[in-house]
Amino acid sequence: MKTLIIIRPDAVLRGLVGEILTRFEKHSIRVAGLKVMQLDREKAGELYEIHKGKPFYESLLNTMVASPVVVGVLDTDVLDNKSAISLVRKIVGATDPSLAEMGTIRGDFGLRIDQNIIHASDSVDSAVREIPIFFKKEELVKYKC
């Protein structure tokens, strides 16, 4: 199972990329693809199209295009756990950092809901839709063991 994460501009600017990736690796989650990129409004809009029309949509886009992000695909095929997305979401923590448990990425590093450090696919359907926005199939590695 593969899922998408985006280390958001606030985390990149604060130098948290390595710490965040380490949190996943400690749970035997492997990185199958990784890119540092500057999102444009079109790409950010495609990612967050489900939120179009909501009061926070424009602010969300502005935040995501403000500075570089790190986009990654995580692979949990090595685990017996088939629920990669729920495991990743548990490590990430609640969307609102003030509600996220300590020990989660957002609980430890999130400042406000609009600076919540990381995006993570919230379902298998979302992961299937989101990964191709950023990665071609041939850009993702497969682990043999």
Over residues 73-91, the pLDDT tens digits come to: 999 876 655 577 889 999 9
Residues carrying an active site annotation: 119
Average pLDDT in the chain: 93
2-138 falls under which CATH superfamily?
A: Nucleoside diphosphate kinase-like domain (3.30.70.141)
Its pTM stands at 0.94
In this prediction, residue 144 has a pLDDT band, given cuts at 50, 70 and 90, of confident
| DSSP run (H or E) holding 35 | strand 30-37
Domain coordinates in residue numbering, the chain: 2-138
**pLDDT tens digits for 87-137?**
999 999 999 999 999 999 999 999 999 899 999 999 989 999 999 999 999
